[in-house]
C-alpha cells in the first residue's frame, strides 16, 4: 500500500469528530421534531440520518473519477466542512417549512420535504464516512472503530450539551464540532483556501454557540423555536431544555383566572378565580403551577376534581403521586389532610422550576414537612422501595414528548404494563388503592377499556379470582378515573363513592354493584377476559413489557381506516400509527429511487459477478444491527427506568463495544480472513441467542435493584453482542476489497439502505407483534448473513481446509 493513501492519526481523529457530530445531530433532531411537530414524527430522525449518509456513500460509488484515491484527504476536509455548514442551514430551512396538522396531502408534502431538507447534512457526513471506510481498506477495522467510538461519545455528549444550553444553540455547537473534524482532516495538507475557510467557520460557530448560550441562560435567546406544531408561540417566562424535554412556562402571575382542572365538577362556583401559571412539555403535555401562600382553604376547588375521588375513601393516608408536575396533585393531598405525600417526578427541570425558579409563587412545597419530592422514574423507584403506600396516584401521566431516544422507542410507556401494575399493587398497604386517570370519551372509550384490561390482568396475575370486586370507574366530562383496590371494595366504601358522585354529578360507569357499559363489565369480570379484549375493532388488550405501547391501540392493518382513528383526543395516538405507515412508505420509496435505481442503472453487470452473496451479507447485517439495537433500546429503557439512561447506557455501550469489536479484526490479515470471520460470526449468533433468552429473565430478577447495579447488568448484557456485531462490517469489507474492490462503496450503501428501512421496520414489528419478535428477526438476519458469508468465500474456505489437511 502506498504511503500517500494511508490513514494518519489525524484521519482517525477527523472521522471520530464527524461521527460524533453526526450522532449528536441525529439525536438532537428527535428533540427538535418532538417540539416543532409531534412526538410520533421524532423517531424518523434515525431514518433521515441513515438515508442521507447512504446517499453520500452512493455518490462516492457513482462518481469514482471525482472521488479519486489521490484526492481523498481533500474531499474528507471539504465534505466535513460542508457537513458543518449544512447542519445550520438545513435546520433554519426546517423551521420555515409549514407543518400541517389536518390536511393529508399537505402533511405528506411537509413530511417528505422535511425528510429531504434535513437529510442534506447527513449526505456530506456519509461521504466522509464512506471515503474513510472504502479508500483505506487495510485500515478499515481501526477506522470503523473510530467511527463507532465517535458515535458513542456523541450520544453522551449531547446530554450534557442540552443541560447547558437549548436545542437551537446545540445545533450551532454541533456544527462547531464538525468543523473540528475538518481541521483534523486538513492538517498537514497544502489546501490554504480550504484551511482558511475551515478556520473562519470554526471561529464563527464557536463564538455564536458561546454567546447564545449566555443569552439562553438569561432567558433572552435570539434564535428560538417560534412556530411549533403549526402555531406561533409567544416568548415565555421561562424555557429550559434537557435531553428528553423542553419545559416552557408562561402566563401572568398577578392575574386571577378560572382554576385549571382536568375534571372539575360543574357544582363548583364558576366565578371563583385563582392565580396560576401554565407549563407544558414539548408544547403539548400540559400542567399548571398554582399560587399557594399556605392557606389551603383557597384551594377547595381541588375537592371537586374527579381525579381526586380516592381521597374521599382513604383518609389519613400516605400518598405517592406519579409525576408531580406543577404540584396540583401534591396540593390535593394537602387539601384532603393526608398524612404525607411523595411526588416522584422524572424530570429534574420541572422540580427545579416549581420549587426553585417559581418557588415563591408555588409556596415552596418542597419545604412543607408533609411533602417529599424525588427525582426518579416512578416505576423503578417504586420497584426498589420497601415502603407501603395507602394511595398510589397516576393522574393523566404521559408527556406525548419524544425521549432522547425517541427515534427508537415511539413512546413506550413503562407505567402502563401488567408488570408495572403488579409492582404498584405489591407496594400498596393492606387496603391500599391504585388510582389512574385518563381520557374517557363516550364515543371513543379506548383508553378506559385498555385500563380496565390492564387492571383485570394485573389483579388476576396477583392472585385475585374476582377482579371486578376490586375495580371502580367514575367519569366526568372527558376524564375517567379507575380505582383498583388491593382488597375488595366494602359496602361502606361503595356507598361513599355513590354519595360523592351524586353530589358532584360524576357518572359511575362501573362498580362491583353496577355497570353503565357492558364492555367494561365484561373486561373486568375476568371470566371471559382474553376473548373480551379481542371483540373490539381497536386493540384493548393489556400491554406488557414486551409490547408496552399503551397509547397505540390501532392495529396496523387498520392504519388507513379513518373511522377508527379520527376520534377525539385518542385519535392523536391513533394517527401516530398512521404516520408510521406513511413514513415506512416514504422511506422505502426514497430508498428505492435514490439508492437502488441509480445503482442498477450505473453498475456494470460484469462487476457484479459473484457479488450476490456479499450483497445479501451487507443487507442482512444492516437489517440485523438496527433490529437488535432498537429492540434492546426499547426493552432496556423500561429496565433502566429513565430515558437518559436508555440513551447514555444502551446506545453508548452498543456503539463502544461494536467499535472495540471492529478494532479487534485489525489483526486478521486477508489470507486468513475467511476462516476467522466465520468463527466470529458463529460466536455472534451464539451470543445473540444467549442474550435473547437471558435478557427477559435478568430484567425480571434485577428490576428492583439500585440504578447503578441495573446499569452494570445492562452493560454486562449488551457488551458481548455489541463486540461481535461490530466485527461483521469490517470483516465483510476485507473480503469485498479482495474480491470486488470497485463495488465496496455500493456494498456500504446497501448496508445503509437496509439500515434506513430497518429503523422504521423495527418499530412496525414491535407495534404489530412485540419487542421480542423484532429482536429474533434481527437474530435471523445474522444467521442469513453468516450463510451468505460462507457462500461468498466457499472457494477460499475449501482452499484453507485443503492446505491445513496437507
- All residues at 6 or more sequence positions from 484 whose CB lies less than 8 Å from its CB, including other chains: 421, 425, 433, 434, 435, 436, 455, 458, 459, 470, 471
Average pLDDT value for residue range 365-388: 92
| Spatial separation of the C-alpha atoms in residues 6 and 510, rounded to whole Å | 74
Name which residue leads in pLDDT, 804 or 507.
Answer: 507
Position 408 scores a pLDDT of: 32
| Spatial separation of the C-alpha atoms in residues 624 and 777, rounded to whole Å | 7
* 724-746 tens-digit pLDDT: 999 999 888 888 877 777 777 77
| Spatial separation of the C-alpha atoms in residues 18 and 183, rounded to whole Å | 11
Most confident of 17-31, 78-92, 263-277, 556-570: 78-92
Per the rule left: phi > 0, alpha: psi between -120 and 50, beta: everything else, 210 is: alpha
Position 498 scores a pLDDT of: 97
According to DSSP, the residues that pair with 231 across neighbouring strands are 228
Superfamily of 293-532 according to CATH: Vaccinia Virus protein VP39 (3.40.50.150)
Name which residue leads in pLDDT, 258 or 604.
Answer: 258
Average pLDDT value for residue range 403-431: 73
Position 767 scores a pLDDT of: 80
| Spatial separation of the C-alpha atoms in residues 460 and 557, rounded to whole Å | 30
Most confident of 412-416, 544-548, 684-688: 684-688
Percent of the chain with pLDDT over 90: 49
Average pLDDT value for residue range 529-534: 53
- Looking at every residue in the chain, the average pLDDT score rounds to 84
pLDDT at 39 over 60: no
Q: Cα 764 from chain centroid? A: 14
pLDDT at 406 over 50: no
Range from 382-391, 737-746, 772-781 carrying the lowest mean pLDDT:
737-746
Average pLDDT value for residue range 585-610: 63
Position 401 scores a pLDDT of: 46
Q: b vs e for 306-325, b when ≥16 Cβ sit within 10 Å of the residue's Cβ?
A: bbbbbbbbbeebbbbbbbbb
Position 701 scores a pLDDT of: 85
Average pLDDT value for residue range 326-352: 95
Give Rg (Cα) of the chain. 28
pLDDT at 449 over 80: yes
Position 354 scores a pLDDT of: 96
pTM: 0.86
pLDDT at 3 over 60: no
Q: Could you identify the residue written with the cell 487495510?
A: 138
Percent of the chain with pLDDT over 70: 84
Per-residue pLDDT band for 405 (boundaries 50, 70, 90) equals: very low
Which whole-number Å values give the CA distances from 235 to 221, 232, 358, 604, in the listed order? 10, 10, 17, 58
Per-residue pLDDT band for 804 (boundaries 50, 70, 90) equals: very low
Grid coordinates in use for 34?
Answer: 418532538
pLDDT at 615 over 50: yes
Average pLDDT value for residue range 634-658: 78
Which whole-number Å values give the CA distances from 362 to 240, 276, 352, 453, 674, in the listed order? 18, 9, 12, 37, 68
Per-residue pLDDT band for 402 (boundaries 50, 70, 90) equals: very low
CA torsion, ordered 335, 336, 339, 343, to nearest 10 deg: -60
* 241-272 tens-digit pLDDT: 988 889 999 999 999 999 998 899 999 987 88
Per-residue pLDDT band for 673 (boundaries 50, 70, 90) equals: low
| Spatial separation of the C-alpha atoms in residues 354 and 319, rounded to whole Å | 19
pLDDT at 471 over 60: yes
Per-residue pLDDT band for 602 (boundaries 50, 70, 90) equals: low
The DSSP secondary-structure symbol of 647 reads: I
pLDDT at 772 over 90: yes
CA torsion, ordered 539, 544, 549, 554, to nearest 10 deg: -10
> What ranges do the domains of the chain cover?
3-217+570-805, 293-532
pLDDT at 572 over 70: no
Q: Cα 726 from chain centroid? A: 23
pLDDT at 446 over 90: no
pLDDT at 191 over 80: no
pLDDT at 492 over 60: yes
Which whole-number Å values give the CA distances from 632 to 88, 246, 620, 629, in the listed order? 32, 26, 18, 5
Residues 3-217+570-805, CATH architecture: Up-down Bundle (1.20)
Amino acid at each position: 500500500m502506498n504511503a500517500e493513501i494511508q490513514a494518519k492519526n489525524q484521519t482517525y481523529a477527523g472521522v471520530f469528530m464527524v461521527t460524533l457530530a453526526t450522532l449528536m445531530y441525529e439525536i438532537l433532531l428527535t428533540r427538535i421534531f418532538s417540539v416543532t411537530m409531534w412526538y410520533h414524527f421524532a423517531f424518523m430522525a434515525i431514518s433521515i440520518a441513515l438515508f442521507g449518509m447512504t446517499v453520500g456513500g452512493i455518490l462516492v460509488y457513482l462518481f469514482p473519477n471525482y472521488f479519486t484515491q489521490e484526492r481523498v484527504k481533500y474531499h474528507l476536509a471539504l465534505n466535513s466542512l460542508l457537513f458543518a455548514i449544512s447542519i445550520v442551514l438545513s435546520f433554519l430551512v426546517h423551521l420555515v417549512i409549514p407543518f400541517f396538522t389536518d390536511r393529508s396531502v399537505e402533511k405528506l408534502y411537509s413530511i417528505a420535504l422535511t425528510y429531504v431538507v434535513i437529510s442534506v447534512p447527513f449526505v456530506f457526513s456519509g461521504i466522509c464516512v464512506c471515503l474513510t471506510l472504502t479508500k483505506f481498506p487495510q485500515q478499515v477495522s481501526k477506522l470503523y472503530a473510530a467511527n463507532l467510538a465517535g458515535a458513542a461519545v456523541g450520544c453522551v455528549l449531547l446530554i450534557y450539551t442540552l443541560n447547558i444550553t437549548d436545542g437551537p444553540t446545540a445545533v450551532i455547537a454541533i456544527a462547531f464540532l464538525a468543523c473540528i473534524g475538518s481541521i483534523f482532516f486538513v492538517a498537514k495538507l497544502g489546501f490554504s483556501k480550504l484551511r482558511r475557510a475551515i478556520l473562519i467557520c470554526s471561529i464563527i460557530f464557536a463564538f455564536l454557540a458561546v454567546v447564545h448560550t449566555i443569552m439562553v441562560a438569561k432567558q433572552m435567546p435570539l434564535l428560538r423555536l417560534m412556530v411549533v406544531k403549526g402555531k406561533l408561540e409567544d416568548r415565555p417566562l421561562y424555557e429550559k431544555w434537557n435531553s428528553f424535554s423542553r419545559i416552557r412556562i408562561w402566563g401572568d402571575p398577578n392575574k386571577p383566572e378560572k382554576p385549571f382542572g382536568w375534571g372539575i365538577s360543574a357544582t363548583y362556583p364558576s366565578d371563583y378565580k385563582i392565580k396560576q401559571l401554565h407549563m407544558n412539555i414539548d408544547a403539548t403535555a400540559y400542567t399548571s403551577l398554582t399560587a399557594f401562600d399556605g392557606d389551603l382553604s383557597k384551594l377547595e376547588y381541588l375537592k371537586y376534581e374527579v381525579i381526586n375521588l380516592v381521597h374521599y375513601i382513604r383518609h389519613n393516608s400516605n400518598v405517592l403521586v406519579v409525576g408531580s408536575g406543577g404540584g396540583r396533585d401534591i396540593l390535593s393531598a394537602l387539601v384532603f389532610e393526608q398524612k404525607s405525600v411523595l411526588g416522584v417526578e422524572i424530570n429534574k427541570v420541572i422540580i427545579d422550576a416549581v420549587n426553585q425558579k417559581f418557588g415563591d409563587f408555588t409556596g415552596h412545597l418542597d419545604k412543607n414537612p408533609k411533602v417529599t419530592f424525588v427525582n426518579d422514574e416512578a416505576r423503578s423507584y417504586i420497584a426498589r422501595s420497601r415502603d407501603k403506600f395507602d394511595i398510589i396516584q397516576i393522574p393523566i401521566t404521559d408527556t406525548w414528548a419524544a425521549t432522547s431516544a425517541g427515534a427508537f422507542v415511539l413512546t413506550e410507556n413503562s407505567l402502563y404494563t401488567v408488570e408495572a401494575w403488579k409492582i404498584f399493587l405489591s407496594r400498596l398497604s393492606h387496603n391500599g388503592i391504585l388510582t389512574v386517570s385518563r381520557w374517557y370519551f363516550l364515543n371513543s372509550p379506548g383508553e378506559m377499556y385498555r385500563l380496565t384490561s390492564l387492571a383485570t390482568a394485573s389483579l388476576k396475575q396477583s392472585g385475585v379470582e374476582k377482579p371486578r370486586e376490586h375495580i371502580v370507574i367514575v367519569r366526568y366530562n372527558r376524564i375517567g378515573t379507575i380505582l383498583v383496590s388491593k382488597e375488595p371494595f366494602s359496602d361502606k366504601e361503595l356507598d361513599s363513592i355513590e354519595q360523592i358522585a351524586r353530589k358532584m354529578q360524576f357518572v359511575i360507569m362501573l362498580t362491583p354493584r353496577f355497570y353503565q357499559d357492558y364492555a367494561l363489565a365484561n373486561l373486568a369480570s375476568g371470566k371471559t377476559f382474553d376473548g373480551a379484549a379481542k371483540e373490539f375493532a381497536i386493540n384493548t388488550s393489556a400491554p406488557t413489557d414486551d409490547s408496552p405501547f399503551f397509547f397505540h391501540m390501532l392495529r396496523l392493518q387498520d392504519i388507513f381506516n379513518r373511522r377508527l382513528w379520527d376520534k377525539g383526543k385518542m385519535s392523536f395516538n391513533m394517527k401516530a400509527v398512521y404516520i408510521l405507515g406513511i413514513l415506512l412508505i416514504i422511506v422505502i420509496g426514497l430508498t428505492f429511487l435514490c439508492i437502488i435505481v441509480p445503482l442498477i442503472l450505473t453498475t456494470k453487470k460484469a462487476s457484479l459477478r459473484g457479488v450476490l452473496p456479499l450483497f445479501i451479507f451487507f443487507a442482512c447485517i444492516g437489517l440485523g444491527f438496527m433490529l437488535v439495537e432498537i429492540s434492546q433500546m426499547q426493552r432496556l429503557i423500561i429496565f433502566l427506568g429513565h430515558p437518559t439512561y436508555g440513551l447514555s447506557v444502551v446506545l453508548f455501550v452498543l456503539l463502544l463495544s461494536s467499535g472495540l469489536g471492529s478494532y479487534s479484526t485489525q489483526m486478521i490479515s486477508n489470507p486468513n480472513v475467511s476462516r476467522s470471520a466465520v468463527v466470529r460470526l458463529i460466536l455472534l449468533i451464539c451470543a445473540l441467542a444467549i442474550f435473547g433468552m437471558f435478557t427477559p429473565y435478568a430484567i425480571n430478577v434485577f428490576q428492583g435493584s439500585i440504578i447503578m447495579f441495573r446499569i452494570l447488568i445492562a452493560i454486562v448484557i449488551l457488551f458481548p453482542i455489541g463486540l461481535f456485531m461490530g466485527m461483521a462490517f469490517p470483516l465483510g469489507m476485507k473480503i469485498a476489497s479482495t474480491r470486488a474492490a470497485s463495488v465496496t462503496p455500493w456494498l456500504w450503501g446497501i448496508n445503509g439502505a437496509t439500515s434506513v428501512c430497518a429503523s422504521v421496520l423495527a418499530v412496525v414489528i414491535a407495534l404489530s407483534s412485540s419487542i421480542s419478535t423484532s429482536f429474533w428477526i434481527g437474530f435471523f438476519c445474522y444467521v442469513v448473513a453468516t450463510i451468505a458469508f460462507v457462500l461468498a468465500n466457499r472457494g477460499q474456505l475449501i482452499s484453507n481446509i485443503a492446505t491445513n489437511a496437507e
